[in-house]
Amino acid sequence: MSDRVLYYDEIASSLISIVKDVNTVTYEDFLIDMKTFIIDKYNNQNLNEFRGSWKTKFKKIANDLKYIVGKDNNNNIWASIVAEIKEKRTREQHKHRSESSTSSASSNRVLTSAEKALVIEFYNKIEEKDKGTLSTGKKISECMLSLANDSIFEHPVHSYIFDTSDPVWDTYFTKEELKEAKNYNTKLRVDIPEELQAYLSSFENKEFTTASDYYDHDLEHKFPLGKYFNERWIQESVVSACELFYYHQNQLNLKEYLEGNMLHEVWEFVYKLFKDREITIKLGEPCSIATSLEKNKKRCLEAITPRERKATGSKIDVIFNADNTELGACEAGKGDVSKIDDKYLNDGFKKLPKTLRDMLISQILVNPGKANSLCTVGYLMMGLHMELLVVDMPFGNLVLRVVRSCRLIYPVKIKNFAVDFIPLLELAYTGKHIMQNNINVLDDRKRKKLIDDDGDSNDDLAANMSTYFFYENGQGKIYDEQGKDAMEWVEEVDPFHLETLTTL
């Protein structure tokens, strides 16, 4: 008997069951009998090689059993096996994509030692003057280095993001230190013009007890078209909110609202603030160009190695633009999302801050001389709460800070309409005002050199500030940090920062 082959007993059992009276077996009968077993053993190898291995096994074991291999009837059984293999592979890919997105909600991705070493290397290169020294003598970047080194799982600190509202920093800083770090040269400042403030305050009338009361008061004001844009925005926002309350009998219950309903019925006043088109908006989960540029920054013409696959940017609910520059973004969630849900933690502390980081990097490339004065703005609406994020680089050339406003709640009953809705309007206006100020900073730049004799230092700066990790599922599929299908990759990916997801 020859050397045993893989699945010897199963194949021998099949041949014994199909052998004919004259000790004859055919390959087609074997394939019919073993079809389910063969399909189940397919593991993404080359289909021609897979077919050849089974034919070899069949012939060897038939020979061991002293069987005669008969002539087939050309029914092309193998073609039906291949068709079912491809169908199964397609089903598994869709299933895995869904499972990967679900798995990404919990994150918990363990960093490899190589990934951690790369991040630590950049932190160790920060000069003393750029470490962000607080009045107590504590240095922000050194605390970030400690967390990056202590971490087992991937965290925004590995993307050089310092979110002053992240509870993890409570063990590294005192409350006073965190307050100082948040307020240092902050761009998150409320500056509402007096005339707007007076109009907003007019809704604080205890005699207003129904949606109709606020609605009628609102429409008493006349704002001519072409002027008073902000006043008309407030008026339209109050009218829409009153209608929402009116058709819900003055008591909102929006837990069943999907993300789209929340964005376009509850939070519509945010993006309608930009109807004057000084800053334009993109709705419908557009892809961030800034994120795409960062993910593809190593992509170049093929030479020794093949050209890398191109990745699209993060898909975000709303993107704010001016002069082909992305200034900010907006991310919304369903009506029942709370601050302890994965949607809030992942989108609010990872996806949105990282997208804003990439936008800031693109701005710095436009005006590197104002790197520490630029910022990006994010609106985060999860459930009935909204908060404003401002991402900037207040010191040095690596650490990016996230400063957040208070989490404001949308009014759920008409009794609290003014006390809850007015702050939301003020917060929305503040975000736009910060973007407008940022445009002025972007425009305040020097004329560029035609030739940079010292090399492209701006690209080096951007390379330092941005780190992306990609993951392989063990079956050749590549996923990004949010569990997306490699953000719709279309060619080959750089194997750098590649990790096998053993948990999938």
CA 47 to chain centre: 36
* Residue 299, pLDDT above cutoff 70: yes
Nearest-5° angle of CA 195, CA 196, CA 201?
A: 100
194-205 residue pLDDT tens: 999 999 999 999
| Cβ neighbours, 10 Å, residue 116 | 17
Report the 10 Å Cβ neighbour count for 495.
Answer: 11
Q: Which is higher by pLDDT, 314 or 350?
A: 350
Taking the alpha carbons of 27, 28, 29, 33 in that order, is the dihedral positive or negative? positive
- pLDDT tens-digit series, residues 41-84: 888 888 888 999 999 999 999 999 999 998 888 778 898 898 88
Determine the pLDDT at residue 453: 64
pLDDT of res. 484: 54
- Pairing between strand 375-382 and 400-404? unpaired
Residues with Cβ within 8 Å of residue 135, at least 6 apart in sequence: 180
Interatomic CA distance for residues 197 and 191, integer angstroms: 10
Work out the mean pLDDT of the chain and round it to a whole number: 85
The model's confidence at residue 105, banded by pLDDT at 50, 70 and 90, is very low
CB atoms within 10 A of CB 127: 10
* Confidence (pLDDT) at 467: 58
Per-residue pLDDT band for 454 (boundaries 50, 70, 90) equals low
Residue 180 confidence (pLDDT) above 90:
yes
Share of the chain above pLDDT 70, in %: 85
**Is the pLDDT at 503 greater than 70, yes or no?**
no
Measured between alpha carbons, how far is 231 from 222 in angstroms, rounded to an integer?
Answer: 9
Q: Could you tell me which residue, 431 or 226, shows the higher pLDDT?
A: 431
The top-scoring range by mean pLDDT among 28-42, 88-102, 155-169 is 155-169
Neighbours of 112 (CB within 10 A): 14
User: Is 26 in contact with 71 (CB distance < 8 Å)?
Assistant: yes
pLDDT of residue 419: 96
Q: Is residue 449 within 8 Å of 369, Cβ to Cβ?
A: no
Q: Supply the pLDDT for residue 100.
A: 47
Are 229 and 429 spatial neighbours (Cβ–Cβ below 8 Å)? no
From residue 277, alpha-carbon distances to 15, 190, 282, 323, 374 in Å are 75, 22, 11, 11, 21
Cβ–Cβ under 8 Å, residues 485 and 475: no
Task: State the pLDDT at residue 248.
Answer: 84
Q: How confident is the model at residue 297 (pLDDT cuts 50, 70, 90)?
A: confident
Instruction: Provide the pLDDT confidence category of residue 464 given band limits of 50, 70 and 90.
Output: low
pLDDT at 480: 57
The pLDDT, as a whole number, for residue 104 is 45
pLDDT tens digits along 467-483: 555 555 444 555 555 55
Give me 315's structure tokens: 């898909």
**Residue type present at position 126:** I
**Within 10 Å of residue 79's Cβ, how many Cβ atoms?**
9
Q: How far is it, in rounded angstroms, from Cα 416 to Cα 438?
A: 34
DSSP-derived pairing of the beta strands 400-404 and 385-392: antiparallel
The reported pLDDT for the residue numbered 498 is 31
Length of the chain equals 504
pLDDT at 2 over 60: no
Query: Which of 65-79, 101-115, 424-438 is predicted least confidently?
Result: 101-115
Per-residue pLDDT reduced to its tens digit, 131-165: 999 999 999 999 999 999 999 889 999 999 999 99
Residues 258 and 332: beta-carbon distance below 8 Å: no
pLDDT attached to residue 494 = 35
> Per-residue pLDDT for 296 more than 70?
yes
Apex 207 CA angle, 201 and 213, nearest 5:
80
Mean pLDDT computed over 432-442: 96
pTM here?
Answer: 0.71
**pLDDT score, position 486:** 47
CB count in 10 Å sphere of residue 467 = 17
Range 343-354 average pLDDT: 93
Q: Which position has the higher pLDDT, 456 or 53?
A: 53
Cβ atoms of 19 and 25 closer than 8 Å? yes
Over 60: is that where the pLDDT of 206 sits? Answer: yes
Question: Using one digit for the tens of pLDDT, what is the confidence trace for 410-430?
Answer: 999 898 999 999 999 999 999
Q: Could you please report the per-residue DSSP string of 164-230?
A: TT-GGGGGTS-HHHHHHHHHTT--------HHHHHHHHTT--TT--SHHHHHHHHTT----TTS-HH
**Is 408 strand, coil or helix?**
strand
Q: What is the mean pLDDT of residues 440-445?
A: 94
More confident residue, 356 or 457: 356
Checking DSSP bridges between strand 68-69 and strand 24-25, what pairing results, if any?
parallel
User: In the prediction, which pLDDT does 502 show?
Assistant: 27
Q: Are the beta carbons of 337 and 377 closer than 8 angstroms? A: no
- Residue 330 — pLDDT band, cuts 50, 70, 90? very high
CB-facing half-sphere around the CA of 242: CA atoms within 13 A: 20
pLDDT for 197 equals 95
**Which of the two residues, 232 and 249, has the higher pLDDT score?**
232
- Output 404 or 497, whichever has higher pLDDT: 404
pLDDT of residue 466: 55
Written as one string, the DSSP assignment of 265-301 is: IISHHHHHTTTTSSSEEEESSPBPHHHHHHHTTT---
In this structure, what token pair is assigned to residue 421?
């809705």
Residue 344 CA to residue 341 CA, distance in Å, equals 5
Long-range pairs for 493-499: beta carbons < 8 A, 24 or more residues apart: 493/308, 493/309, 493/311, 494/298, 494/308, 497/115, 497/467, 497/468, 497/469, 497/470, 498/470, 498/471, 498/472, 499/109, 499/112, 499/115, 499/469, 499/470, 499/471, 499/472
The set of residues, in sequence order, having a beta carbon less than 8 Å from that of 335 and lying 6+ positions away, is 254, 255, 256, 257, 258, 261, 262, 266, 383, 384
pLDDT for res 103:
43
DSSP β-ladder status, 325-332 and 375-382: parallel
User: Which of 497, 427, 441, 503 is CA-nearest to residue 467?
Assistant: 497
